Structure 1
Amino acid sequence: MIKSFLLIGQSNMAGRGIQNSVPPIINESIKMLRNGRWQIMAEPIHNDRPMAGVGLASSFAASWHADNIGEEIGLITCADGGTSLNDWQAGGELFDHAIFQAKLAQRSSKLSGILWHQGENDSSAELAAKYVDKFNVIVNELRNQLEVPDVPLIIGGIGDFLPHGQFGAHFHDYYLVNNALQEYAASHSNCHFVTAKGLTANEDQIHFDAKSVRKFGLRYYQAFLNAADVTEALTDEDELLEKIYRRELSLNEQKFILEVQFASGKIAFKEFQEQLKLIGK
């Protein structure tokens, strides 16, 4: 059975990394939920905004698959850019949508983890002071409604670059959100914190760039795998990503790439047919 993971939070979970700046991750064992059914993952996996791009879940899933050859992983994409913790309160549209999608996924998968990244919209002293209590209500209600009381929850820190961009004045207290996330992980079972230390941003200085979200996904996976916080960058992040990128593609994956290229107008039908014949040889 597919092992599924619920992806929730705001834009840095949905992903805003520029696609062409990193190699794609194509793996027929990594699925994404669309219309209640599983299909091969293709980035961007979220469609919350027209500017959706590369997110951390792709490298998380690729890392998981490398340790679970022969099994399938499914991504339930429910993050929404620009949202606050209040927007995610139980009974709200985002919460109910995530519950609905996760329950659809549970018909054909085992919900094995929840990945959360959010906090930029709560980067004030006043809001950060309430973060732990508000977040606890959300998490408890998620686990209760999905009937997964012990499902692992992985939560990531927000970027140290936030105060240095055009909108830096809004993020003066960003570190208080990171403190709250770490406090929550330390005081609640089956929850682990992942540092964003050393990760870099797009030019907006709000969103992690594509190379960094790839590394962030590796860190999320290590936290999940070891059931422990990740408080420093992994020493072999570049090497791990190269292994993911160099993975030999199956025939089905090669055909999938050609189909996407043809459907998106990147290659003509004649070239599509010729390339298909070459794959079959």
Structure 2
Amino acid sequence: MLAGIAPAQARTSVKILHVFLAAGQSNMSGRGLPVGGANDAEDPRIFQYGAKVRSFRPATVPLDMHDSATGISPATTMAREYLKTQPANVGVLVIPAAHGQTGFTGAHGALTWTVGAASAPKVDLPNLAVTQTLEGIAAAKAAGYTVVLKGVLWHQGENNSQMSAATYAAKLDQLIAFFRSKLAAPTLPFVLGRMSPEGIAIVPGRNNVDRSQQETPARVLFTAFAPSKAGGVNRGDTTHFSRSGVQYLGSSYLSAYWRAARVTSIPLSAPVPAIRGTAKVGSTLTVAHVNWTPGTVRLSYQWYRSHVAIVGATGATYRPSAADVGRTLTVKVTGSKSGYASVSRISPGAGKVTWGTLSSAAPSIRGTAKVGATLTAVPGSWGPGTVRLSYQWYRSHRAISGATGRTYKPVSADKGRTLTVTVKGSRPGFPTTSRISAGAAKVTSPTW
């Protein structure tokens, strides 16, 4: 096990890691601003194997890219979107290998993405990316994970504005073939993200690169093009995407990835459900509303008692019963939509169910406290639902044998004594509750 890295079983429920190589130049490296705060807290399902610090560890914002990233990368936002479509035991390992201001070049001493053109190993970006990927996969396996290489995320082109569309296409196609050969994955999906529309419009020559990139899926199998949005750039900068632009690219990359991977039944994007309410008999638990995408998704529910399905509990709400006391409740939400693969998500436990609390009122006695008259216990309102009530009458605080009905007729032994009644409420899943009435007036003799 690598130093400082907990085994898979100790950190989270993640057992499988899907690996994505993030390559290209500055936008893939990460320039999306602003960053920080709760939105960029460590995600226990996203890992990285850094370019500068070669260790397997939780992913950060910015990622540990080949250069010094300053903002969020579309590799991160794509990973977040991708995980919404995956079961809880799947995580993502990002291989952050991008470097700003790089491209296809044969210039001596320059960092280059051109296969076979580097003047020294330290500037050979394709080989460096492959080595980093293989090291990252090995490190994740050593930490106890099952690892699956899933694809390459590419964002580049700004540095090759002087290149013709045909020349750029030849260099790019050669790079795709190189990655697939060296990583022993001949159908490895390769997704190209579009440069900013503002930069394409302003900088001469970028339209050639843009055209070449958009035509790649027609030239190379298992590739796809991910559009970007206008207006998603940092202030005063027409090249680098802002946080909103990177968020958009994350979703765009995911949609393109499904096309590149030839996934015909696309999984729905599904967050983990949560349970709202108190885990207590008689209360109501509700599945908190979460946003399933795309569009309108049909949801179905199944509640579980300590991992065993509860017969008939298939609604968005559930009222715990006596059978649930001491057990943990969870709910599975399944989303379905025509043209998409159904996805199920299971909530965390709602805590062990506790006994409910009966609501009750102090009883009263109706009638005249007179020998031979009829006294009636008025129990008041009890709940929730139907509560079984029982009665015991008392003569000056001593139980009267056999006086266990709702009514009682005082006898001569009661004359001059005070009568009270205790009402006891019981219901499965609730502790028994007793309430005692105020005393009736002292019993008098009958009037003849």
**TM-score range relative to shorter protein:** 0.7 to 0.9
Deviates more, 1:208-217 or 1:17-26: 17-26
1:153 aligns with 2:190: yes
Question: For residue 114 of structure 2, what is the aligned residue in structure 1?
Answer: 89
The secondary structure found in structure 2 opposite 1:140 is helix
Question: For residue 224 of structure 2, what is the aligned residue in structure 1?
Answer: 192
**Aligned-partner Cα distance in 2 for 1:21–1:175:** 34
* Paired residue type of 2:99: D
1:204 aligns with 2:233: no
Alignment equivalent of 1:57, drawn from 61, 75, 88: 75
**Aligned-partner Cα distance in 2 for 1:151–1:199:** 32
Question: Is the CA contact (8 Å cut-off) linking 2:67 and 2:98 kept in structure 1?
Answer: no
Deviation by residue 1:44-87 (Cα, 9 ceiling, x = unmatched): 01344445211101111011111112211100000000001221
Gaps of 5+ in 1: 230-235, 237-241, 245-249, 251-281
Gaps of 5+ in 2: 1-15, 106-111, 119-123, 142-146, 263-268, 270-289, 293-347, 349-448
Percent of pairs with identical residues: 26
- TM-score normalized with structure 1 length: 0.74
Cα RMSD (Å): 2.6
1:174 aligns with 2:190: no
* Paired residue type of 1:88: W
1:15 aligns with 2:30: yes
* Paired residue type of 2:191: I
1:119 aligns with 2:151: no
Question: For residue 80 of structure 1, what is the aligned residue in structure 2?
Answer: 99
Higher relative contact order (CA 8 A, sep 6+): 1
Question: Is the CA contact (8 Å cut-off) linking 1:161 and 1:200 kept in structure 2?
Answer: no
Q: Specify whether residues 227 and 137 from structure 1 end up closer, same or farther in structure 2 by C-alpha distance, changes over 3 A only.
A: closer
* Paired residue type of 1:28: P
Question: Is the CA contact (8 Å cut-off) linking 1:15 and 1:46 kept in structure 2?
Answer: no
**Aligned-partner Cα distance in 2 for 1:11–1:216:** 14
1:28 aligns with 2:44: yes
The secondary structure found in structure 1 opposite 2:40 is coil
- TM-score normalized with structure 2 length: 0.47
1:67 aligns with 2:85: yes
Alignment equivalent of 1:105, drawn from 119, 131, 136: 136
Q: Specify whether residues 191 and 226 from structure 1 end up closer, same or farther in structure 2 by C-alpha distance, changes over 3 A only.
A: closer
| Largest Rg, 1 or 2 | 2
1:225 aligns with 2:244: no
Residue 198 of structure 1: how far off its partner (Å)? 2.5
Structure richer in strand, relative to its length: 2
Question: Is the CA contact (8 Å cut-off) linking 1:46 and 1:52 kept in structure 2?
Answer: no
Question: Is the CA contact (8 Å cut-off) linking 1:16 and 1:207 kept in structure 2?
Answer: yes
Alignment equivalent of 2:165, drawn from 128, 143, 153: 128
